[in-house]
Amino acid sequence: MKNADLLKIAKTYGNPVYVYDSEKIISQFNRLTNAFKGVKRLRLNYAAKALSNISILRLMNSLGSGLDTVSIQEVQLGLMAGFKPESIIYTPNGVSLEEIEEAAKLGVQINIDNLSVLEQFGSKHPDIPVCIRINPHVMAGGNSNISVGHIDSKFGISIHQIPHLLRIVELTQMNINGIHMHTGSDILDIDVFLYASEILFETAKNFKNLDFIDFGSGFKVPYKEGDIETNVEELGKKLTDRFNTFCKEYGKELTLAFEPGKFLVSEAGYFLAKVNVVKQTTSTVFASVDSGFNHLIRPMLYGANHTIENISNPQGRERYYSVVGYICETDTFGNNRRINEISEGDILCFKNAGAYCFTMASNYNSRFRPPEVLWHNGKAILIRERESFDDLVRNQVDVKDLFTTAKEEIAVK
């Protein structure tokens, strides 16, 4: 997107504001689809958690994507956005059997990641096909919080528990129609995917009625120009060959599924915030913006390095800044960043703000969550309004005379 378009959006809708470029989302979707064009049955299930605005879900649906969900609410959002139940996979972790049964009633593909629930669900609903999430014991991912396929992780059924799993399947007579893994996010090395895939193929041989194998996600995207990223084209070639060979051995054309979040929406997003204060201290120059980890927590949570540009003064002399927020705790977006000279009132643009930014936003410090704007066919479309004070207090029960009464009672005593 051009700086002028972003500045115009900030002027129209105020700041801070999130902006998403539909063209980038579409090109990423096509890029991944092309990388796996040698697979007869490919399915991309967009991971709703990355960015769950209904307009984004509708866009994904229009592209022919399926949907990967982790909560009953994400399932409901997907259905509301027009996804057919059979295009939705529900992969919860640590939720109640009741929630899984509710999702099953809605007709979505259930993916179970522990033996306790598998046994209970299989005993009660042997006719509902189930996918199982395997923990392949692979350490992968850009940060410990997003490495989820290793031996100490809470996710998935350990590959060492396959004998127990098979016993449950045999005794309950349930139908396992898919196997799944997701080892982490920000995985650069395609050998990690290929190695973990071998574990899935090995596991798959134990099940006779599979329809699909889901390889999860975790593709690393670039965070600045020239940055390293997962080579999805090379992965596409290698995994396609291996997958097609496996299908021949298995005796059935299976669906190869992925569930990308970041890959599809990260680079499409821009977060715009205004500089309130430029503060020279003895050690640095702080640029404080009208936002904080209430709107963009990834730098503080994962050490994510979002490129920050001053789009109000793109030709200005470059200087070093610490860009911080207005929250009552240390909320540093970036230290020692070389940015075109910043003045108070300038608009800073945080790149890669499409994935896990709005969806992780909160009302901390009683601030409003910002609006979301979709940039589509050269037009800005508001897809979420900025919150208001009414939104902040909507569910609070303001019991006005609660403490007046207490005061009176104390007075009487």
Of 31 and 386, which has the nearer Cβ to ligand PLP?
31
Of 263 and 350, which has the nearer Cβ to ligand PLP?
263
- Find the catalytic residue in 131, 247, 328, 349: 328
Q: Is 309 labelled as part of a ligand binding site?
A: no
Of 111 and 310, which has the nearer Cβ to ligand PLP?
111
Question: Which two three-digit tokens encode residue 305?
Answer: 């390095």
Least distance from ligand PLP to the Cβ atom of residue 205, Å: 23
Q: Is 329 labelled as part of a ligand binding site?
A: yes
**DSSP secondary structure string for all residues of 238-267:** HHHHHHHHHHHHHTS-PEEEE--SHHHHTT
Answer yes or no: are the C-beta atoms of 220 and 193 closer than 8 Å.
Answer: no
Least distance from ligand PLP to the Cβ atom of residue 391, Å: 27
Least distance from ligand PLP to the Cβ atom of residue 110, Å: 14
Residue nearest ligand PLP by beta-carbon distance: 261
Respond yes or no: is residue 247 known to be catalytic: no
Distance, in Å, from the CA atom of 356 to the CA atom of 259, rounded to the nearest integer, reads: 15
Distance, in Å, from the CA atom of 322 to the CA atom of 304, rounded to the nearest integer, reads: 15
Cβ contacts of 67-74, under 8 Å, gap ≥ 24? 68/259, 68/261, 69/108, 71/95, 71/99, 72/99, 72/102, 72/103, 74/48, 74/49
- The angle at the Cα of 11, spanning 13 to 329, to the nearest 5 degrees, equals 70
Least distance from ligand PLP to the Cβ atom of residue 155, Å: 8
Of 50 and 275, which has the nearer Cβ to ligand PLP?
50
176 forms bridges with which residues in the sheet? 130
Q: Which chain residues interact with ligand PLP by CB under 6 A? A: 47, 50, 68, 91, 182, 185, 216-219, 259-263, 355
CA distances for 338 relative to 133, 203, 221, 285, 319, angstroms: 43, 49, 22, 11, 5
Q: Which residues are annotated as a binding site for substrate?
A: 298, 302, 329, 356
Q: Which residues are annotated as a binding site?
A: 218, 298, 302, 329, 356
Q: Which residues are catalytic?
A: 328
Q: Which residues are annotated as a binding site for pyridoxal 5'-phosphate?
A: 218, 356
